[in-house]
A = this chain, B = another copy of it.
Amino acid sequence: MTDTARTANDRELVLTRLIDAPREKLFKCWTQPELMKQWFAPLPWKLSHVEVDLRAGGSSKVVMRSPEGQEFPNLGVYLEVVPNEKIVFTDAYTEAWVPSEKPFFTGIITFEDEGGKTRYTAIARHWTVEDRKAHEEMGFHEGWGQCADQLAALAKKI
């Protein structure tokens, strides 16, 4: 019913992978700054700075650095955190509760057991169809896909 409609929602982008690692490790990779630096940006991009206040209302600050050395800060707020299961965050606030210049998307990351592996799902929900399209054209699937590969590789090593 509503779940089907939501999946079919034309304001949403979804990436899902079956990753051969326990969900506890994937959750760590998503939430510990030193681990995030190793996979969160699609190489050769890097993270030059990461701050994580992992709780509903806590701030998230990630500065991405391009291969040319240009820095792009990403400010957001965590909306929901269920250890080893779910992380929800948005760029609609720069901190609790200061509206950003532009609410672009809400990220919903889930980790589920599936046949001894982990079903990793990253959903990006947008406020408008235009923003969903723009995100897709910015390379959502390629970028988040490459990062999911990097995440899977890192989770095997730790």
CB proximity to B under 8 Å, residues A87-101: 88, 90, 92-93, 96-101
Chain B residues with Cβ below 8 Å from A54 are: none
Whether a CB of chain B sits under 8 angstroms from the CB of A59 is: no
Chain B residues with Cβ below 8 Å from A92 are: 92, 103, 127
With contacts A56-B56, A56-B57, A79-B57 taken as known, whether A126 is within 8 angstroms of B99 at the C-beta atoms is: yes
Chain B residues with Cβ below 8 Å from A97 are: 79-80, 88, 90, 106, 108, 125
Chain B residues with Cβ below 8 Å from A98 are: 6, 125
Assess the B100–A80 pair: CB atoms within 8 A.
no
Chain B residues with Cβ below 8 Å from A57 are: 56, 79-80
Distance of A6 Cα from B94 Cα, bound (Å):
13
Assess the A80–B96 pair: CB atoms within 8 A.
yes
Whether a CB of chain B sits under 8 angstroms from the CB of A11 is: yes
Which 10 A-B residue pairs are closest in the complex by CB-CB distance?
A56-B56, A99-B127, A103-B103, A97-B106, A57-B80, A99-B125, A88-B97, A92-B92, A103-B127, A97-B108
